[in-house]
Amino acid sequence: MADEQTAALKKTAGESGGKDECQVRLEGRERDYWMGTEISMLEGHGFQGQVMAGDGSDKQGKMGAGYINLRRKKKKQQCKVGGEEESSSSNRPELAAFLLALRDTLIEEPLLYLCDNQSLLKAFNRWLGEGGKATLVGAPAADILAAAIEILRKRIAAGIATFFVKVKAHRGEPANEGADILADKAISDPKVGKEWCQWTNLAVFTWKKTVPRGRESNISRSSFAIQ
Protein backbone atom coordinates (compact mmCIF):
# COMPACT_ATOMS: atom_id res chain seq x y z
CA MET A 1 0.00 0.00 0.00
CA ALA A 2 2.85 2.36 0.88
CA ASP A 3 4.47 1.74 -2.51
CA GLU A 4 1.20 2.44 -4.30
CA GLN A 5 0.72 5.71 -2.40
CA THR A 6 4.32 6.75 -3.13
CA ALA A 7 3.85 6.01 -6.84
CA ALA A 8 0.59 8.00 -6.89
CA LEU A 9 2.27 10.99 -5.23
CA LYS A 10 5.16 10.89 -7.69
CA LYS A 11 2.76 10.74 -10.62
CA THR A 12 0.78 13.72 -9.30
CA ALA A 13 3.93 15.74 -8.64
CA GLY A 14 5.14 15.12 -12.16
CA GLU A 15 1.99 16.38 -13.83
CA SER A 16 1.90 19.98 -14.99
CA GLY A 17 -0.76 22.47 -16.05
CA GLY A 18 -4.40 22.72 -15.13
CA LYS A 19 -5.99 23.21 -11.75
CA ASP A 20 -6.29 20.81 -8.85
CA GLU A 21 -9.49 18.80 -8.95
CA CYS A 22 -9.64 17.44 -5.41
CA GLN A 23 -12.78 15.55 -4.51
CA VAL A 24 -14.92 15.81 -1.40
CA ARG A 25 -15.20 12.52 0.49
CA LEU A 26 -17.35 12.50 3.60
CA GLU A 27 -16.53 8.94 4.62
CA GLY A 28 -13.54 7.46 6.41
CA ARG A 29 -10.51 9.49 7.43
CA GLU A 30 -11.22 12.39 5.09
CA ARG A 31 -14.55 13.22 6.72
CA ASP A 32 -12.93 15.08 9.63
CA TYR A 33 -10.93 17.24 7.23
CA TRP A 34 -13.84 18.19 4.97
CA MET A 35 -16.20 18.84 7.87
CA GLY A 36 -13.69 21.43 9.08
CA THR A 37 -13.57 23.40 5.82
CA GLU A 38 -15.27 26.74 5.22
CA ILE A 39 -18.23 25.21 3.38
CA SER A 40 -18.93 22.64 6.08
CA MET A 41 -18.65 25.23 8.85
CA LEU A 42 -21.41 27.06 6.98
CA GLU A 43 -23.45 23.82 6.95
CA GLY A 44 -22.84 23.33 3.24
CA HIS A 45 -22.02 19.64 3.18
CA GLY A 46 -24.79 18.86 5.65
CA PHE A 47 -27.45 20.88 3.84
CA GLN A 48 -30.75 19.07 3.25
CA GLY A 49 -31.30 19.94 -0.38
CA GLN A 50 -29.37 20.65 -3.55
CA VAL A 51 -25.90 22.16 -3.12
CA MET A 52 -24.47 23.80 -6.23
CA ALA A 53 -21.46 25.93 -7.03
CA GLY A 54 -21.28 28.22 -10.03
CA ASP A 55 -18.72 30.50 -11.60
CA GLY A 56 -18.30 32.78 -14.58
CA SER A 57 -15.31 33.65 -16.72
CA ASP A 58 -14.49 36.67 -18.88
CA LYS A 59 -11.41 36.40 -21.07
CA GLN A 60 -10.56 38.86 -23.81
CA GLY A 61 -14.17 39.84 -24.27
CA LYS A 62 -15.48 36.25 -24.38
CA MET A 63 -17.64 34.92 -21.54
CA GLY A 64 -18.41 31.46 -20.19
CA ALA A 65 -20.43 30.08 -17.28
CA GLY A 66 -20.70 26.76 -15.50
CA TYR A 67 -21.96 25.04 -12.38
CA ILE A 68 -21.63 21.68 -10.64
CA ASN A 69 -23.97 19.87 -8.27
CA LEU A 70 -22.39 18.45 -5.12
CA ARG A 71 -25.36 16.16 -4.53
CA ARG A 72 -25.40 14.73 -8.03
CA LYS A 73 -21.76 14.46 -9.06
CA LYS A 74 -22.52 13.97 -12.74
CA LYS A 75 -24.95 16.90 -12.83
CA LYS A 76 -23.13 19.88 -14.27
CA GLN A 77 -23.60 22.33 -17.10
CA GLN A 78 -21.69 25.00 -18.95
CA CYS A 79 -22.34 27.46 -21.76
CA LYS A 80 -20.94 30.41 -23.59
CA VAL A 81 -22.57 33.70 -22.59
CA GLY A 82 -23.61 36.13 -25.31
CA GLY A 83 -23.87 39.90 -25.18
CA GLU A 84 -20.18 40.61 -25.59
CA GLU A 85 -20.95 42.94 -28.50
CA GLU A 86 -22.47 45.40 -26.04
CA SER A 87 -20.22 44.82 -23.05
CA SER A 88 -18.45 42.05 -21.20
CA SER A 89 -17.59 41.64 -17.53
CA SER A 90 -17.33 38.87 -14.97
CA ASN A 91 -20.71 39.83 -13.49
CA ARG A 92 -22.69 38.73 -16.55
CA PRO A 93 -21.35 35.15 -16.69
CA GLU A 94 -21.62 34.90 -12.89
CA LEU A 95 -25.34 35.65 -13.19
CA ALA A 96 -25.58 33.19 -16.07
CA ALA A 97 -24.05 30.40 -13.97
CA PHE A 98 -26.61 30.99 -11.23
CA LEU A 99 -29.47 30.95 -13.74
CA LEU A 100 -28.20 27.65 -15.17
CA ALA A 101 -28.27 26.17 -11.67
CA LEU A 102 -31.73 27.57 -10.96
CA ARG A 103 -33.18 26.15 -14.15
CA ASP A 104 -31.86 22.68 -13.31
CA THR A 105 -33.27 22.69 -9.77
CA LEU A 106 -36.84 21.62 -9.12
CA ILE A 107 -39.00 24.36 -7.61
CA GLU A 108 -39.76 22.15 -4.60
CA GLU A 109 -36.07 21.49 -3.82
CA PRO A 110 -34.22 23.74 -1.32
CA LEU A 111 -31.05 25.16 -2.89
CA LEU A 112 -27.74 26.24 -1.43
CA TYR A 113 -25.69 28.12 -4.02
CA LEU A 114 -21.96 28.73 -3.58
CA CYS A 115 -20.31 31.60 -5.43
CA ASP A 116 -17.15 33.68 -5.16
CA ASN A 117 -18.59 36.89 -6.60
CA GLN A 118 -19.84 39.55 -4.18
CA SER A 119 -21.60 41.45 -6.97
CA LEU A 120 -23.94 38.50 -7.57
CA LEU A 121 -25.20 38.70 -4.00
CA LYS A 122 -25.64 42.46 -4.26
CA ALA A 123 -27.61 42.10 -7.50
CA PHE A 124 -30.33 40.14 -5.72
CA ASN A 125 -30.11 41.86 -2.36
CA ARG A 126 -31.87 44.98 -3.71
CA TRP A 127 -34.92 42.83 -4.48
CA LEU A 128 -35.31 41.55 -0.92
CA GLY A 129 -37.69 42.98 1.66
CA GLU A 130 -39.55 46.28 1.54
CA GLY A 131 -38.28 49.69 0.54
CA GLY A 132 -37.88 51.67 -2.65
CA LYS A 133 -39.33 50.25 -5.82
CA ALA A 134 -36.77 47.97 -7.46
CA THR A 135 -36.22 48.28 -11.19
CA LEU A 136 -34.16 46.54 -13.86
CA VAL A 137 -33.43 49.84 -15.59
CA GLY A 138 -29.68 50.28 -15.66
CA ALA A 139 -29.06 46.87 -14.08
CA PRO A 140 -26.09 44.97 -15.55
CA ALA A 141 -27.16 41.83 -17.46
CA ALA A 142 -30.83 42.71 -16.95
CA ASP A 143 -31.94 39.97 -19.37
CA ILE A 144 -30.34 37.24 -17.26
CA LEU A 145 -31.26 38.87 -13.96
CA ALA A 146 -34.95 39.09 -14.93
CA ALA A 147 -35.11 35.37 -15.76
CA ALA A 148 -33.45 34.45 -12.46
CA ILE A 149 -35.77 36.71 -10.45
CA GLU A 150 -38.82 35.06 -12.03
CA ILE A 151 -37.66 31.59 -10.95
CA LEU A 152 -36.84 32.88 -7.46
CA ARG A 153 -40.33 34.40 -7.28
CA LYS A 154 -41.86 30.98 -7.98
CA ARG A 155 -39.66 29.35 -5.34
CA ILE A 156 -40.66 31.94 -2.76
CA ALA A 157 -44.34 31.52 -3.62
CA ALA A 158 -43.92 27.77 -3.05
CA GLY A 159 -42.24 28.39 0.31
CA ILE A 160 -38.92 26.90 -0.80
CA ALA A 161 -35.66 28.33 0.49
CA THR A 162 -32.78 29.52 -1.69
CA PHE A 163 -29.52 30.35 0.07
CA PHE A 164 -26.46 32.16 -1.27
CA VAL A 165 -23.08 31.50 0.33
CA LYS A 166 -20.04 33.61 -0.55
CA VAL A 167 -16.85 31.53 -0.69
CA LYS A 168 -13.29 32.73 -1.15
CA ALA A 169 -12.05 32.49 -4.71
CA HIS A 170 -9.04 30.37 -5.70
CA ARG A 171 -8.56 28.86 -2.25
CA GLY A 172 -8.85 25.24 -3.34
CA GLU A 173 -12.55 24.81 -2.54
CA PRO A 174 -13.40 21.81 -4.80
CA ALA A 175 -16.88 22.96 -5.78
CA ASN A 176 -15.76 26.47 -6.66
CA GLU A 177 -12.68 25.26 -8.54
CA GLY A 178 -14.76 22.75 -10.48
CA ALA A 179 -17.21 25.44 -11.59
CA ASP A 180 -14.33 27.74 -12.48
CA ILE A 181 -12.83 25.07 -14.75
CA LEU A 182 -16.17 24.56 -16.50
CA ALA A 183 -16.58 28.29 -17.09
CA ASP A 184 -13.07 28.64 -18.51
CA LYS A 185 -13.44 25.67 -20.84
CA ALA A 186 -16.84 26.85 -22.07
CA ILE A 187 -15.21 29.84 -23.77
CA SER A 188 -12.87 27.83 -25.99
CA ASP A 189 -14.79 24.56 -26.47
CA PRO A 190 -16.53 24.65 -29.88
CA LYS A 191 -19.01 22.00 -28.73
CA VAL A 192 -20.40 24.21 -25.96
CA GLY A 193 -23.50 26.19 -26.93
CA LYS A 194 -24.16 29.89 -26.45
CA GLU A 195 -27.09 31.59 -24.69
CA TRP A 196 -28.38 35.09 -23.99
CA CYS A 197 -27.37 36.60 -27.31
CA GLN A 198 -30.34 38.93 -27.70
CA TRP A 199 -29.41 42.56 -28.24
CA THR A 200 -30.81 45.03 -25.71
CA ASN A 201 -31.53 48.75 -26.03
CA LEU A 202 -28.04 49.70 -24.86
CA ALA A 203 -26.30 52.25 -27.07
CA VAL A 204 -22.81 51.12 -28.07
CA PHE A 205 -20.20 53.65 -29.17
CA THR A 206 -17.04 52.67 -31.03
CA TRP A 207 -14.22 54.95 -32.10
CA LYS A 208 -10.89 54.70 -33.88
CA LYS A 209 -7.69 56.04 -32.44
CA THR A 210 -4.81 56.87 -34.76
CA VAL A 211 -1.25 56.41 -33.50
CA PRO A 212 2.07 57.47 -35.12
CA ARG A 213 3.29 55.40 -38.02
CA GLY A 214 6.04 52.90 -37.49
CA ARG A 215 4.36 51.08 -34.66
CA GLU A 216 2.90 47.58 -34.88
CA SER A 217 -0.60 48.94 -35.43
CA ASN A 218 -1.84 52.36 -36.37
CA ILE A 219 -5.46 51.70 -35.42
CA SER A 220 -7.01 50.74 -32.10
CA ARG A 221 -10.62 50.25 -31.20
CA SER A 222 -12.56 50.62 -27.99
CA SER A 223 -16.20 50.33 -27.16
CA PHE A 224 -18.48 50.88 -24.21
CA ALA A 225 -22.19 50.78 -23.50
CA ILE A 226 -24.44 53.28 -21.80
CA GLN A 227 -28.07 53.03 -20.63
Each residue's pLDDT tens digit, 115-166: 888 888 888 887 776 556 777 777 778 889 999 999 999 999 999 999 998 8
Nearest to 112 by CA among 170, 180, 160: 160
pLDDT for position 177: 84
Asked if residue 81 lies in contact with residue 64, where contact means CB atoms within 8 angstroms, the answer is yes
Over residues 190-200, the mean pLDDT reads 86
pLDDT single digits (tens) 10-43: 776 665 555 555 566 777 877 777 777 777 777 7
Per-residue b or e along 181-211, where b marks 16 or more CB atoms closer than 10 Å to that residue's CB: bbbbebbeeeebeeebeeeeeeeeeeeeeee
Asked if residue 192 lies in contact with residue 80, where contact means CB atoms within 8 angstroms, the answer is yes
For residue 76, give the 3-state DSSP assignment.
strand
| CA–CA dist 7, 216 (Å, integer) | 50
pLDDT for position 63: 94
pLDDT band at 72 (very low <50, low <70, confident <90, very high): confident
| CA–CA dist 29, 33 (Å, integer) | 8
| CA–CA dist 140, 87 (Å, integer) | 10
Q: Does domain 21-200 have CATH number 3.30.420.10?
A: yes
